[in-house]
Amino acid sequence: MARKKEPEKKKFDNPAVVGLHAAVTEQPITRTLETNFMPYAMSVIVSRAIPEIDGFKPSHRKLLYTMYKMGLLKGARTKSANIVGQTMRLNPHGDAAIYETMVRLSTGYQALLTPFVDSKGNFGKVYSRDMSYAASRYTEARLSAICAEVFRDIDRDTVDLVDNYDGSMKEPSLLPTAFPNVLVSANSGIAAGMASQICGFNLNEVCETTIAYLKDPDCDLFTTLPAPDFPTGGELIFDRAEMENIYRTGRGSFKLRAKWRFVQKENIIEIFEIPYTTTSEAVIDKVADLIKSGKIREINDMRDETDLSGLRLAIDLKRGVDPEKLMQKLFRMTTLQDAFPCNFNILVAGNPRVMGVREILEEWTAWRMECVRRRVYHELQKKREKLHLLKGLQQILLDIDKAIAIIRGTELEEDVVPNLMMGFGIDQIQAEYVAEIKLRNINREYILKRTEETDELEKEIADLEDTLKNRRRIRSVIVDELRQINKKYPTPRKTAIVYSHEVEELNETETVEDYPVTLFLSREGYFKKITAQSLRMSGEQKYKEGDGLRVSFESSNRSDLLVFTDRQQVYKLRLSEMEDSKASLLGAYLPAKLQMDEGESVITMLDPGDYSANVLLLFENGKAARLPLSVYATKTNRKKLVNAFSDKSPLVEVLLLTEEKDIALFTSDGRAIVFNSSLLQEKSSRSTQGVAVMAAKARRTLSAAKPLADTAIQTVSRYRVRSLPASGALLKPEDRGEKQLSLIEE
């Protein structure tokens, strides 16, 4: 008979396993998150990562308050290790975390426009990843002067004091900053499920904006707060629409880029300010990668030459490299141009809120008004208490001898105060005050001097009571304090503002080929760029009926072109952006191509080369202005320069001066003047009206100007002048030439 198969034992049949299973209780995941994760998340949000309305995180606040209680606001510096050790009474984290907080707040690290720790020693640099700070035993610190405004009246009940983590001492829940530090200090933090990223603004601009807001809550913020400011300088590419969105919602981003200069003598580019969001090592590493990958071939070497004078990155260029174009490449391909994301997430009454600038000012103003109100109330209570004591002293004044007799006639010390209360009808506090008066002060003169303060105290009390009732007076107090801060702590702006329409982005896919071209400009503004090969194969140039050649010269496809118009504007054009043309075509219409103003016409064009030459502007009223071409050079690649020359008289001609040359002028009454350009002094201002080269005479105007070599004049001595202005001589028929006759007729 086959054995019956025993049933397989379940694992829960084991008593030990059954007991373990019974100890595990099932619960929904939502309850687990609520009971375990949420307290942790709220602790990180409220007590660690997100700044509050005073602009500080708890770690910042605990450190600064410890330094304040150590007397480091006015005293000498002390070792950083001492400060770190004292801070651990408030901050239960390790000494390394506390010291890192101090480093970030220090003047040496340069992470804040308005640092709160006056440091001495090596605290590293925010713009360097590898320049680490020294240990806390080697460095010293104290509070910087601005902390006087951070701790203003903190001992006068302006903020709540709460227990520290072990209940052994008190610490402030907020610091009563007299200025909107939440906007002044850059701040970032990552909490659980949320983050905060606040850009810093200039202290003086923030104070001016707050004053304007207190006077008119609907004021234009951009009038006094044009853009953020950063301690590392650089340039902020300002886009009005983007910045308005950030100011309104507290979210968005804007671009920062480095500042640089080209040292022609050494053929190097010097980068001396970089964006706040990057480091010098990150830039160098990225450039090295680009060179290795062959994406950048214009650089021989890049070095970090940072020293005690500040940041300096040097880029050695290969021969013939255009520094402007290379920097455009580097801006696009490295963190020399970087975006700063904004997320103005701030704790208000324990609740995180993302706010725009105006809303932040509203919340800070409400909080600061409460601080001032509490301070005024504290002063009022102190003065009321003092007045109460003086009122009791006045009663003693009525009969000093009686007071002495009561004290002498009292057998027990504990009965002195009750007997004085009964003898003069005063309360216990007043009696205690009288009983503590020294024997030497029991004289009429002392008591009279003290009681004379009564009237003044009553006036001060009435004034403080009025201040408490009047919100306008409290606002006025805040405005006065902000003005004092502005005057006491002048803070020049470090980050320059460059408008986005002035910035030309480099097209990554475009490869500019360099080859010789010949340029043609017609009188009506039609432009042609023709290659040497096409020019050899072409026939006569084609123009519209009634149109003709205005100017023509040889150039290069990589060159720039300056186009002068009759609206005192100069347009900057890269020849590589213009398509090659043919003689049989009309060419590109420049007013449309350059998006000129309605009715604006082209006068002439020229190739500025490296902007080292001079340009001669000749006006209809007989004046000429000699300017360096560098006044039209712009690092920001603006395509349009307004007010490029004087508007006092119409511009007749623009001549390029690479060297001194003879110039021929032709007047409307048939005269000619020949002079050397060396007679004209260089001017530095584009708006200069120039100097007279043609003697003034009724109805006489300058009609044309050309280099002497390009004219038909044969008897040069007849028209040559040695000084200016001059009337010139009547033009002989043989010196006119058909070409010159056509110019005069025009």
User: How far apart are the two ends of the chain, measured CA to CA in Å?
Assistant: 133
CA–CA gap between residue 633 and residue 617 (Å, rounded): 17
Catalytic residue check, 138: yes
Burial category of 549 from C-beta neighbours within 10 Å (exposed 0-12, middle 13-18, buried 19 and up): exposed
**Contact (CB, 8 A) for 471 and 369:** yes
Its sign, for the CA torsion 441, 444, 447, 450, is negative
CA–CA gap between residue 706 and residue 740 (Å, rounded): 10
CA–CA gap between residue 158 and residue 176 (Å, rounded): 7
Q: Which residues 6+ apart lie within 8 Å of 137 measured at CB?
A: 79, 80, 81
**Alpha helix positions (H), 74-122:** 80-87, 95-104
CA–CA gap between residue 169 and residue 65 (Å, rounded): 12
Q: Are strands 170-172 and 691-692 parallel, antiparallel or unpaired?
A: unpaired
Its sign, for the CA torsion 470, 471, 472, 476, is positive
| 193: region left, alpha or beta (phi > 0 left; psi from -120 to 50 alpha) | left
What DSSP designation does 413 have?
G
Query: Catalytic one among 40, 109, 138, 165?
Result: 138
> What torsion, rounded to 10 degrees, do the Cα atoms 74, 77, 79, 81 define?
40
What is the secondary structure of 474-505 as a DSSP string?
Answer: HHHHHHHHHHHHHHHS-----SEEEEGGGPPP
In this structure, what are the phi and psi dihedrals at residue 322, rounded to the nearest 5 degrees? -85, 110
For residue 262, which amino acid is it? F
Comparing CA positions, the residue from 261, 260, 259, 256 lying closest to residue 276 is: 256
Catalytic residues: 138
